[in-house]
């Protein structure tokens, strides 16, 4: 996974767009409507991009590079170790697929030399076939050369099977090569032998198979599989012995970054643990990198006291910036159907109608940041739906359009030029609009927003459409009017929007206190599950306890928190029920 974290002039300007509003801490939503302060980024934009009317080039969207400063976190450096057949190569395949690291396997490099008949290969062959270690000077030179190549520096590396002796570990120390993590795969001896003897390699793809555990996918592959000459029971035992003799010295060299992994489980299960460990390092690094950048110097992980509303200006700014960065990254990657789900008390108008002001403030921060890039943004709030006595609008959106009109959009001409307000529907899409931000589109009892939404996305084509806190699930409709489209199609359509930002607090069933944790996903990174812990000094903090490539299920979250099996969790009070209700 690319470890790219973005910070940009947008963020400083969006931060200023938030912080320069005369927001009163006691009532964050209303004073912003009257703020007379002009925004620094408005004048910036005029200086850099436009004079009177901006020129719109095409519907394709790109973030102007001059305005984005990329701070690329340092790439991952991983060592993987373990006895012969502990599954190093198998895990490496999966790690490379997921994290894009450069895989440096001394075994593979040596086998390549052997099959090419090079001098090194000729020298190494004898040692390898007998299961002993190839002389240090050969292997060290090979690894040092490979590590110094540009791709390894840029993408990070995954060192497999090296170092394997104390001298090799020392050579790395001299080169100042240190891993972020040293993964030690542990498997009982008898399993190792069975794995080695049953191992087969595909000479075409390099993929590792096992005649029983991981058989080939087709007869064609099966026919071309080869067995390694050192995979006989006798040689495996010799290799295992050599491994045991050397492992102590290696392990002690990396004990500070070593993580032991029970690798006597299916490869997918082992990988789930491995990738969580690597993601955590990436995440910490991303946070550090962001911390180092001027616009993020106040970043402090997830803010605390999130149940206390109104939130401070800093906390609001944190979330606006977090959402903005994820949205920019997603659009930059070419995504055009985006969904932001952020559920904190401050942004939940169902708890307190004044919170709609904060939601609008978020929308404003996003819209103004995109206008900084010269984009014309249409901010859309659904209008009344239905006919006659059934006409109406969801309560939480009542008055939203008016609030948007009265808000401070910076320079007088911003609203109406760079930012336009509209409703939701195909007719709302104009040629000059570059992107659309839709405020909490939702179904109302008896009325379905999806038809209008679909007409709008059809008209928008490839232009980004961003849904902020949509609620597209079915609502009961006695009139049946909601059934404008088949249920399946409606749900399918809702799924065409990719989550680019998710944040929600986790509580026990039926309560809003205490907060037990949080789930966060900021594109393109993984879902991060945090536990809220109270420190000795009484302060609270959020600690990452697990990460996931897909939105975790209630079972996964439950397991991560309690370590209990699903059955046990079901029996326990509150927790399971809560997670089911919130996350399903």
CA distance 474 to 487: 8
Q: 239 an active-site residue? A: yes
Query: Which residues are within 8 A (CB) of 401 and not within 5 positions of it... i.e. 6 or more apart?
Result: 381, 383, 421
Instruction: Give yes or no for residue 146 binding ligand AP5 (CB under 6 A).
Output: no
Instruction: Give yes or no for residue 345 binding ligand AP5 (CB under 6 A).
Output: no
CA distance 219 to 226: 14
Q: Which stretch binds ligand AP5 (CB under 6 A): 61-69, 133-141, 496-504, 557-565?
A: 133-141
| Dihedral in degrees, nearest 10, Cα atoms 7, 12, 13, 18 | 120
- The active-site residue out of 222, 228, 237, 284 is 228
Which one among 28, 54, 121, 131 touches ligand AP5, defined by CB under 6 A? Answer: 131
Q: 378 an active-site residue? A: no
CB 336 within 8 A of CB 465: yes
| H-type alpha helices, 199-303 | 219-224, 233-253, 267-292
Three-class SS state of 537: coil
- The active-site residue out of 42, 164, 316, 490 is 164
CB of 549 to ligand AP5, least distance (A): 19
CA distance 383 to 392: 8
CB of 82 to ligand AP5, least distance (A): 6
| Dihedral in degrees, nearest 10, Cα atoms 146, 151, 153, 157 | -70
| Residue 517, strand partner residues | 506, 531
Considering beta carbons, is residue 72 or 141 the nearer one to ligand AP5?
141
CA distance 31 to 12: 22
Considering beta carbons, is residue 103 or 376 the nearer one to ligand AP5?
103
Considering beta carbons, is residue 28 or 89 the nearer one to ligand AP5?
89
Which one among 3, 17, 21, 86 touches ligand AP5, defined by CB under 6 A? Answer: 86
Query: Which residues are within 8 A (CB) of 471 and not within 5 positions of it... i.e. 6 or more apart?
Result: 440, 441, 442, 443
Considering beta carbons, is residue 223 or 536 the nearer one to ligand AP5?
223
Query: DSSP string covering 292-318, please?
Result: HSGGGTT--SS-S-TTSSSPPHHHHHH
- The active-site residue out of 42, 88, 111, 267 is 88
CB of 278 to ligand AP5, least distance (A): 17
CA distance 142 to 120: 10
Q: Is the peptide bond preceding residue 514 cis, with omega within 30 degrees of 0?
A: yes
Which one among 11, 99, 157, 162 touches ligand AP5, defined by CB under 6 A? Answer: 162
Considering beta carbons, is residue 84 or 410 the nearer one to ligand AP5?
84
CA distance 19 to 273: 41
| Residue 109, strand partner residues | none
Q: For residue 96, what is the enclosing H or E element? A: helix 88-99
Binding map of ligand AP5 across residues 37-76, x = CB under 6 A, - = no contact: ----------------------------------------
| Residue 226, strand partner residues | 201
Binding map of ligand AP5 across residues 267-306, x = CB under 6 A, - = no contact: x--x------------------------------------
CB of 535 to ligand AP5, least distance (A): 38
Which one among 18, 23, 76, 85 touches ligand AP5, defined by CB under 6 A? Answer: 85
Q: Which stretch binds ligand AP5 (CB under 6 A): 129-137, 382-390, 398-406, 538-546?
A: 129-137
Chain residues 180-239 in contact with ligand AP5, contact rule CB under 6 A: 195, 198-199, 208-210, 213-214, 230, 239
Instruction: Give yes or no for residue 520 binding ligand AP5 (CB under 6 A).
Output: no
What are the strands, taking DSSP E only, across 310-387? 337-343, 377-380
Question: Can you give the C-alpha Rg of the chain in angstroms?
Answer: 28
Q: 164 an active-site residue? A: yes
Considering beta carbons, is residue 195 or 378 the nearer one to ligand AP5?
195
Q: 490 an active-site residue? A: no
Considering beta carbons, is residue 92 or 449 the nearer one to ligand AP5?
92
Q: Please work out, in degrees rounded to the nearest 5, the angle formed at the alpha carbon of residue 373 by the alpha carbons of 372 and 376.
A: 85
**How many residues form the binding site for ligand AP5 (CB under 6 A)?**
35
- The active-site residue out of 77, 146, 239, 526 is 239
Q: 88 an active-site residue? A: yes
Instruction: Give yes or no for residue 84 binding ligand AP5 (CB under 6 A).
Output: yes
Query: Tokens 């099996």 map to which residue?
Result: 565
From the list 423, 430, 411, 425, the residue with the least C-alpha distance to 368 is 411
Q: How far is the first Cα of the chain from the last one, in angstroms, to the nearest whole number?
A: 27
Chain residues 94-113 in contact with ligand AP5, contact rule CB under 6 A: 106-107, 110
Three-class SS state of 135: coil
CB of 249 to ligand AP5, least distance (A): 13
- The active-site residue out of 42, 45, 199, 526 is 199
Considering beta carbons, is residue 177 or 419 the nearer one to ligand AP5?
177
Residues in the chain: 584
Instruction: Give yes or no for residue 90 binding ligand AP5 (CB under 6 A).
Output: yes
Residue in the shown chain whose Cβ atom is closest to ligand AP5: 107
- Beta strands across the sheet bearing 181-186: 102-105, 157-160, 77-82, 181-186, 258-262
**So which residues are the catalytic ones?**
88, 164, 199, 228, 239
Residues that bind ligand AP5 (CB under 6 A): 82, 84-90, 106-107, 110, 127-128, 131, 133-134, 139, 161-162, 164, 168, 195, 198-199, 208-210, 213-214, 230, 239, 263, 266-267, 270
């Amino acid at each position: 996974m690319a470890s790219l974290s973005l910070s940009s002039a947008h963020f400083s300007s969006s931060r200023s767009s938030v912080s320069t509003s005369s927001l009163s801490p006691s009532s964050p939503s209303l004073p912003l409507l009257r703020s007379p302060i002009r925004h620094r980024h408005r004048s910036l934009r005029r200086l850099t991009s436009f004079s009177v009317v901006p020129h719109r080039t095409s519907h394709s969207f790109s973030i102007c590079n001059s305005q984005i400063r990329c701070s690329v976190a340092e790439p991952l450096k991983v060592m993987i170790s373990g006895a012969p057949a502990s599954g190093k190569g198998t895990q490496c395949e999966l790690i490379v697929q997921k994290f894009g690291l450069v895989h440096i396997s001394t075994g593979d490099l040596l086998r390549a030399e052997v099959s090419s008949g090079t001098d090194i290969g000729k020298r190494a062959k004898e040692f390898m076939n007998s299961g002993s270690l190839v002389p240090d000077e050969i292997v060290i030179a090979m690894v040092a050369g490979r590590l110094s190549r540009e791709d390894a520096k840029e993408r990070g590396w995954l060192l497999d099977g090296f170092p394997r002796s104390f001298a090799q570990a020392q050579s790395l120390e001299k080169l100042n090569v240190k891993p972020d993590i040293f993964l030690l795969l542990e498997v009982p001896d008898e399993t190792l032998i069975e794995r080695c003897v049953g191992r087969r390699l595909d000479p075409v793809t390099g993929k590792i198979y096992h005649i029983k555990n991981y058989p080939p996918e087709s007869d064609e592959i099966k026919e071309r599989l080869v067995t390694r000459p050192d995979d006989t029971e006798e040689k495996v035992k010799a290799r295992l012995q050599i491994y045991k003799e050397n492992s102590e010295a290696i392990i002690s060299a990396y004990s500070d970054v070593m993580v032991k992994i029970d690798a006597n489980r299916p490869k997918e299960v082992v990988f789930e643990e491995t990738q969580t460990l690597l993601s955590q390092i990436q995440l910490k690094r991303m946070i550090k990198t962001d911390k180092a950048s001027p616009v993020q110097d106040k970043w402090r992980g997830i803010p605390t006291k999130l149940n206390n509303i109104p939130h401070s200006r800093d906390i609001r700014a944190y979330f606006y910036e977090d959402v903005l960065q994820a949205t920019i990254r997603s659009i930059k990657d070419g995504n055009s159907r985006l969904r932001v789900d952020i559920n904190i008390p401050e942004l939940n108008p169902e708890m307190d109608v004044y919170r709609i002001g904060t939601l609008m403030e978020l929308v404003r921060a996003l819209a103004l940041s995109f206008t900084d890039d010269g984009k014309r943004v249409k901010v859309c709030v659904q209008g009344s739906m239905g006919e006659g006595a059934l006409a109406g609008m969801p309560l939480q959106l009542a008055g939203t359009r008016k609030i948007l009109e009265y808000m401070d959009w910076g320079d007088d001409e911003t609203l109406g030029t760079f930012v336009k307000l509209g409703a939701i529907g195909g007719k709302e899409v104009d040629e000059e609009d570059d992107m659309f931000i839709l405020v909490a589109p939702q179904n109302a009892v008896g009325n379905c927003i999806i038809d209008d939404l679909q007409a709008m996305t059809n008209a928008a084509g490839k232009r980004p459409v961003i849904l902020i806190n949509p609620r597209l699930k079915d609502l009961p409709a006695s009139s049946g009017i909601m059934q404008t489209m088949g249920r399946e199609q409606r749900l399918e359509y809702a799924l065409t929007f990719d989550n680019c930002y998710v944040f929600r607090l986790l509580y026990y069933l039926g309560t809003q206190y205490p907060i037990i944790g949080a789930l966060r996903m900021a594109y393109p990174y993984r879902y991060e599950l945090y536990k809220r812990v109270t420190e000795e000094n009484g302060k609270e903090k959020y600690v990452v306890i697990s990460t996931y490539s897909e939105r975790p299920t209630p079972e996964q979250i439950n397991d991560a928190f309690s370590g209990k099996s699903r059955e046990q969790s079901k029996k326990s009070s509150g927790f399971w029920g809560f997670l089911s209700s919130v996350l399903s």
